[in-house]
Amino acid sequence: MEEYRIPVPATGGKATYRAGKLVCIGRNYAKHAAELGNAVPTSPMIFLKPASALIPSGSDIVIPPASADVHHEVELVCLIGTAGSHIPRERALDHVAGYAVGLDMTARDIQLLAKEKGHPWSVAKGYDTFAPLGNFVPAEAVSNPQDLSIRLEINGEERQAGHTGDMIFPVDTLIAYASTIFTLMPGDLLFTGTPEGVGPVREGDRLCATVEGLPPLEVGVRTS
């Protein structure tokens, strides 16, 4: 899985990227922060997921034995194409090679325990298969990443429906901010947070995640 490659049918640049770090944003939609009882953050709330959690569309999320409450979080994902540190916000989108829809799967029960104890979220967010990722479109195909509808259906029933214009911190701000902490490298992925409506998945479910204009992401669910 470390060798997972991301096809980007972009003109120029690399056709594939080796997945780097997964930079994820928590509580980036006000209604989602509220549904989990969290305050709206005053600066982006960042955590990391391991690249080993990535799976492509058409595969299965595996619910680990340690969790009885694995939640879906549908998110717009940006692929970094050009390295940068302390990237100015006005230049941030120039560093994006492509966009895809992703799922930030979360063992909510494990995360709640971690929150209570002040422990990190790495376990709750980092299991194998916890980062399903759809196919990318080149960045040029998305004229405004803050003007996209975002949805998740389970077994044909709508569970999450939002709009990227409701992000508290838009993509350019997230890239600028994250790059003050980590040098962003080609192949890094930015998961930009989820709108409201998160909830559990169960064995046998079929998930279909979509962001307007991007290839849909379809995954199944099974237990290990």
- Per CB under 5 A, residues contacting Zn ion are 73, 104, 194
Shortest distance, position 167 Cβ to Zn ion, whole Å: 12
CB-nearer residue toward Zn ion: 10 or 55: 55
For residue 159, which of 204, 210, 111 has the smallest C-alpha distance?
Answer: 210
Shortest distance, position 145 Cβ to Zn ion, whole Å: 16
Shortest distance, position 59 Cβ to Zn ion, whole Å: 19
CB-nearer residue toward Zn ion: 71 or 138: 71
CB-nearer residue toward Zn ion: 138 or 170: 170
Shortest distance, position 11 Cβ to Zn ion, whole Å: 31
For residue 92, which of 195, 180, 215, 18 has the smallest C-alpha distance?
Answer: 180
Phi and psi torsions of 124, nearest 5°: -60, -30
For residue 76, which of 2, 169, 204, 9 has the smallest C-alpha distance?
Answer: 169
DSSP 30-66: HHHHHHTT-PPPSS-EEEEE-GGGEEETTSEEEE-TT
Residue nearest to Zn ion (CB): 104
Shortest distance, position 16 Cβ to Zn ion, whole Å: 25
Biggest CA–CA distance in the chain, Å, is 48
Are 181 and 127 within 8 A, CB to CB? no
What sign has the CA pseudo-torsion 71, 74, 80, 85?
Answer: negative
Are 212 and 101 within 8 A, CB to CB? no
Structure tokens, 130: 């916890």
Shortest distance, position 25 Cβ to Zn ion, whole Å: 7
